[in-house]
Structure 1
Amino acid sequence: MRLRHSAILANTCLALWALTGCSAPTSDSAPATAPAETHVPTAADHEVLPSERLADRLLTADDLGPGYAARPAATATSTEASVEGCPQLEKLGSAADNPYAMFPNQGKRVFTGPGGTQLTEELYSAPPTDLSAGAGRIMTAMGACPSYQLVTATTVAEVRTQTVPVARLGDEQWGQVLTVAVGGQRTIVQQTVIRAGAVLLVVSGSPAEVTVHAQTALAKATAR
């Protein structure tokens, strides 16, 4: 099925990296080992935050440190892609171009990092039960098939998925590593998803960067 803006993977920028030859480096390294579990205090209430307040809680380049810069917002023109070989993922994509669009309160920021890497942070807010059910369904679909293909008019990307443990942050956590192979090159990207009360955090990028910055992102996203 056709997925505008490479729907399922657009949220983690995987399709852009692998399919359009952007600045993501190739890597044969294994995912970074998760650090010891550290609990981050979260807001005691379950207040649903509007998009304006979520935007204020996104990381900035200063929060990430030297070598990072915020990228301009993506334009409306993006490569369309189709998922082949994973019915569960195709079914999830049929609902909307962006599976997280079920949560209307949202914010997003994309950064380029040292060496041309890319880090993406997304925040969503909704009642905790809605966030829990929605994120769980999305991550289950994304991890349902150990491999599938992402196909555009000019490129076929082989995608392999692996569920990985996440440090016990917030109230619920999900983690996944995707290996995208195109033309003999591989890009490894990790996605960490954390629910803290009425806030859902999605951080995507190289495993090392996600491991380092996820806790900082959560602390800022849940600050009072």
Structure 2
Amino acid sequence: MRLRPSFIVTGTCLALWALIGCSASPSGSAPAKAQAETPVPTAGDHGVLPSERLADRLLTADDLGPGYAAHPAATAPSPEASVEGCPQLEQLGNTADNPYAMFPNQGKRVFTGPGGTQLTEELYSAPPKDLSAGVGRIMAAMSACPSYQLVTATTVAEVRTQTVPVPRFGDEQWGQVLTVTAGGRRTIVQQTVIRDGAVLLVVSGSPAEVTVHGQTALTKATAR
């Protein structure tokens, strides 16, 4: 099945970008198995934020410190790719069936840091029950596939996934480490996903970057 890798997993595209200069913008996400389960409200749009408000809550280079630069998410289409070895993940490649397509309220920012590191932050907003259900579909697909291949016209990337603990911030939390090998090179990307009410935060980058900046991102994203 043909699909856009940016709709598969932010971390995978980020890793490919670091390894082979992938031109796709690191957008979309596919976190791992849930670390906590919390009752989700079943009515109301409490706290839903429009995209312009989410953009104001994204991290800036000043928030991250010296050596960081912010870049807008690329607008060029991601190169087509095929997922092999994970039927559940292939199903998410259909844009009409992409859970994140249900969340039009969103903001994204890409950073480069010292030594050429990359960090991405994404914010989504929707009623809590919709966020939880939509993200849960991605969780189920990713937890079903500890490894798979991502095949583009020029590259075959081996992707291995591992669920990792996430601090109990917000209402629901997920964490995943992706090890992506392509062209004889390997990179490791951590992805932390946190739902706090009607706001969903996705932070992807090296494990050290995500650990250091994840809480700062959540604090700014959920500021009242």
Q: TM-score, normalised by structure 1?
A: 0.84
Does the aligned pair in 1 maintain the 2:175–2:192 contact within 8 Å? Answer: yes
The answer to whether structure 1 residue 157 and structure 2 residue 157 are counterparts is: yes
Structure 1 residue 75, shift from structure 2 partner: 3.1
Structure 1 residue 14, shift from structure 2 partner: 2.8
Change (3 A) 1:205 1:11: closer
Does the aligned pair in 1 maintain the 2:91–2:97 contact within 8 Å? Answer: no
Query: Which stretches in structure 2 are left out of the alignment for 5+ residues?
Result: 23-44
Change (3 A) 1:127 1:72: closer
Deviations 1:49-99 (A, max 9, x none): 000100000000000011110023313143211101100100122244964
Aligned to 1:46: 46
Looking at structure 1, the residues matched to 20 and 160 of structure 2 have their Cα atoms a distance apart, in angstroms, of 18
Looking at structure 1, the residues matched to 211 and 49 of structure 2 have their Cα atoms a distance apart, in angstroms, of 25
Does the aligned pair in 2 maintain the 1:179–1:187 contact within 8 Å? Answer: yes
Structure 1 residue 12, shift from structure 2 partner: 5.8
Structure 1 residue 150, shift from structure 2 partner: 0.2
**How many residues align structurally?**
203
Say what the alpha-carbon RMSD is for the aligned residues.
2.1
Amino acid at match of 1:107: G
Q: TM-score, normalised by structure 2?
A: 0.84
Aligned to 1:169: 169
Structure 1 residue 209, shift from structure 2 partner: 0.5
Does the aligned pair in 1 maintain the 2:172–2:196 contact within 8 Å? Answer: yes
Structure 1 residue 137, shift from structure 2 partner: 1.4
DSSP 3-state at the match of 1:179: strand
Does the aligned pair in 2 maintain the 1:5–1:97 contact within 8 Å? Answer: no
Amino acid at match of 2:55: A
Equivalence map 1:1-224=2 (5 Å)? 1-10=1-10, 13-14=13-14, 16-17=16-17, 20-21=20-21, 46-96=46-96, 99-224=99-224
Amino acid at match of 1:171: D
DSSP 3-state at the match of 1:110: strand
Deviations 1:97-155 (A, max 9, x none): 96422211000000001111100000000011111111121122122111100001111
Does the aligned pair in 2 maintain the 1:47–1:198 contact within 8 Å? Answer: yes
Does the aligned pair in 2 maintain the 1:12–1:191 contact within 8 Å? Answer: no
DSSP 3-state at the match of 1:13: helix
Aligned to 1:30: none
Amino acid at match of 2:183: G
Give the % identical residues: 88
